[in-house]
Structure 1
């Protein structure tokens, strides 16, 4: 694993810690996790869209235009939610990866 990958995974790990601190351990059914993940992907999509097409961003006047950093931050959240879903699945099934 390269340094860049390790750094990104460390960010995802930090986001997981933040999520657990905010929400506690979450053990949802798979279909609920898919909805949560889809919502996060939607936020990443919105950040990318508003970066590319700022004239459609109704909040740009208040907070400024969306940046690629906003998009990246949303992607870290997508990855962290995917990790949380895997952790939950492993807890509920009583199995870890082989």
Structure 2
């Protein structure tokens, strides 16, 4: 069991998430997608994690190329990539990306709310 101060560990992880958010903005610019959520949303992919990750990636790329990307599909792609990882270091990196996408999504919701 770790004896490290949990606040220091949390701060370190959140700094990594912030660094990933900065990298996302540098790569993609400000993103303002629709949410893609709701009670009638259908889950599209089932199967082994690697297959689901590949399908989710292909789906998100297709939606983006058509101008229809949404936050749920982006988040699902990142989560599916994490689910397909067995290497702890790669899994950790994917989970930082999942967290950063969640933060970006919240930021987009806040921008919409503030603009209203």
The TM-score with structure 1 as length reference comes to: 0.75
The TM-score with structure 2 as length reference comes to: 0.64
Q: RMSD in angstroms over aligned alpha carbons? A: 1.2
Q: What is aligned with 2:94?
A: 74
**Which gives a bigger RCO, structure 1 or 2 (Cα 8 Å, sep 6+)?**
1
Runs of 4+ that moved beyond 6 A: none
Q: What is aligned with 1:10?
A: 15
Bigger helix share? 1
> Where do 5+ consecutive residues of structure 2 fail to align?
1-5, 37-69
Work out the number of aligned pairs and report it: 77
**Map 1:1-98 → 2, pairs under 5 A:** 2-31=7-36, 32-47=70-85, 51=86, 67-94=87-114
